[in-house]
Structure 1
Amino acid sequence: MASQDVIIERSDPAVQRIIDVAKHSRSVVRTVLIEDVEPLLQSIHAGVMFIEVYGIDTTPLPADLLAACEKREIPVRLLASAIANQVFKAEKKPKAFGIARVPRPSRLEDLADKTGDIVVLDGVKIVGNIGAIVRTAFALGASGIVLVDSDLDTVADRRLIRASRGYVFSLPIVLSPRTEALRYFQDSGMRTMVFEADGDLTVDDLNAIDERIVLMFGSEKAGPSDEFSSVAAESVSIPMNPAAESLNVSVSAGIALHGRARRNLSASPTA
């Protein structure tokens, strides 16, 4: 790719667009700021449509990012460091970032024709935990995540994009009202399992199950809700030191998904 143009004027329309998109509170989210090289690359590979990608004139953009932008015909420009300081002010200034169009929100129906397990997070609100689970779910072959009572308005939340390292666009993530999610899994015919302290099964038993299942996790503090516990056909526990109070929910999900990885990865069309 040829050398990039440098934005040196505060009046350039791109500068105001970046400032507008970076605002933490927007009533309608149609575009999103995606920061840092790994999330940019993953979002590009996931097919997210970018308006433009930017670097800082003092830091060369890596060749793999430039190549990915060239392949997708994404415009690339640089911001003069002084302009970048004005744009991001007190925020940490990313060395690379892009403005992307927010993809269509995933729906519960989008999960129906997938092959891997589904993860349900019931009342999990810490964005860092959700992001870690997204990365793990993608890496270990799960086909989607359903978020209930997450307090997120969109999966294109800058915090979630950062926490997931951009993988939030690589598999369906559904923000669902509780009643709709309960109805969907009641009617789906899929085998549902809720993770509790004293389960009917242990996580080791998941290895032998050769069918698609739904793995339901509650928040670390409150656990799964009564509604999801009643929908689940079985309960699962993770053997642990009784002196330990609990496991972080992202750790619990990682343990469960690792136990299911052989089945899920072999069933994945991209495996």
Structure 2
Amino acid sequence: MPDLDVLADPSDPAVQRLSDLAKPARGTVRTAIVEDQEPLVQALRAGVRFVEVYGESTREFPGDLAALCAELGVTVRLVEPAVLTKVFRSEKRPKVFGVANIPAPARFSALAEGTGDVLVLDGVKIVGNIGAIVRTAVGLGARGVVLVDSDLPTIADRRVVRASRGHVFSLPVLLETRERVARWLGESGLRVVDVDMDGSLSPESLGALEGDVALLLGAEKTGASDVLQDLAADTVSVPIDSRVESLNVSVVAGIVLYARSRRSA
């Protein structure tokens, strides 16, 4: 591996730019930090354009990541530990990270191009759950994920990228209003299935539903909104022991997606 440029001066303007990016995003942002090796690799493979990728100067830079960056023409630089401390402050600092140009927001048209079920998350706000669901959606062949009332300013939120292991860039993830989603669902032709504690169908019965569907999931405590539930042709629930009040929404999403993935087995 050739010698790499080292960012060593904490007063370097480039360090301040990185520090600004490490702060929580507010308003419109065009670049974001993607941290850790797996999310970086997944984002690069998904076609996300990176300004630069960085590694800690006291550690060996991962060879496969270096090769991928070289293949895609992405500059790699090393960073001294003191600089990383300034950038990430009290946070756990990543061994490798990159500055990515945030892709343009996905639109409903992107969902018309693929196959597979669509997940609609209505009022799901916990970023760890969103990231886990997105990762599961990719793993089990979903077409895309639509986020309603998530409070996220961008899908490139560092926490979501981390929780999804970079797969938030691997399929269309939309940030949309409830009204626009309701209109799209009405026009899409997709059968809407509401995943709810009081559903009449079991997960196993999802395999009998022909064609792609829209799986509607709400927050664990409140469920989906009436506006979107009213569009559902079917309701499904996951039976659980009475000692457990409810299941985490990311767990439920995994169960119903797996049930749907088995329909052609």
TM-score range for the pair, normalised by the shorter chain length? over 0.9
Could you say what secondary structure the match of 2:230 adopts?
Answer: helix
Q: Please report how far the alpha carbon of residue 200 of structure 1 lies from its aligned counterpart in structure 2 after TM superposition.
A: 2.6
Does residue 144 in structure 1 map to residue 144 in structure 2? Answer: yes
Does residue 7 in structure 1 map to residue 11 in structure 2? Answer: no
Q: Supply the distance in 1 between the matched residues of 2:167 and 2:3 (Cα, whole angstroms).
A: 29
Q: Please report how far the alpha carbon of residue 215 of structure 1 lies from its aligned counterpart in structure 2 after TM superposition.
A: 0.4
Q: Supply the distance in 2 between the matched residues of 1:192 and 1:151 (Cα, whole angstroms).
A: 23
Q: Please report how far the alpha carbon of residue 217 of structure 1 lies from its aligned counterpart in structure 2 after TM superposition.
A: 0.4
Does residue 39 in structure 1 map to residue 39 in structure 2? Answer: yes
Match of 1:269 in 2: none
Q: Supply the distance in 2 between the matched residues of 1:2 and 1:50 (Cα, whole angstroms).
A: 20
Letter in 1 for 2:145: I
Match of 2:192 in 1: 192
Deviations 1:239-265 (A, max 9, x none): 22233211110000000011112458x
Q: Supply the distance in 2 between the matched residues of 1:147 and 1:129 (Cα, whole angstroms).
A: 12
Match of 2:92 in 1: 92
Q: Please report how far the alpha carbon of residue 60 of structure 1 lies from its aligned counterpart in structure 2 after TM superposition.
A: 1.0
Match of 2:203 in 1: 203
Q: Supply the distance in 2 between the matched residues of 1:125 and 1:165 (Cα, whole angstroms).
A: 18
Letter in 1 for 2:221: K
202-211 or 31-40, which deviates more: 202-211
Does residue 106 in structure 1 map to residue 106 in structure 2? Answer: yes
Q: Supply the distance in 2 between the matched residues of 1:59 and 1:28 (Cα, whole angstroms).
A: 34
Match of 2:57 in 1: 57
Deviations 1:157-210 (A, max 9, x none): 111111111111111000110100001001111111001222231110112333
How does the TM-score come out when normalised to structure 2? 0.96
Match of 1:261 in 2: 261
Q: Supply the distance in 1 between the matched residues of 2:261 and 2:130 (Cα, whole angstroms).
A: 19
Q: Supply the distance in 1 between the matched residues of 2:11 and 2:245 (Cα, whole angstroms).
A: 55
Letter in 1 for 2:223: G
Match of 1:226 in 2: 226
Q: Supply the distance in 2 between the matched residues of 1:150 and 1:246 (Cα, whole angstroms).
A: 20
Match of 1:165 in 2: 165
How does the TM-score come out when normalised to structure 1? 0.94
Q: How many residues align?
A: 265
Letter in 1 for 2:9: E
Q: Supply the distance in 2 between the matched residues of 1:106 and 1:15 (Cα, whole angstroms).
A: 31
Give ranges in structure 2 of 5+ residues lacking alignment. none
RMSD of aligned alpha carbons: 1.5
User: Does the 8 Å contact 2:27/2:153 carry over to 1?
Assistant: no
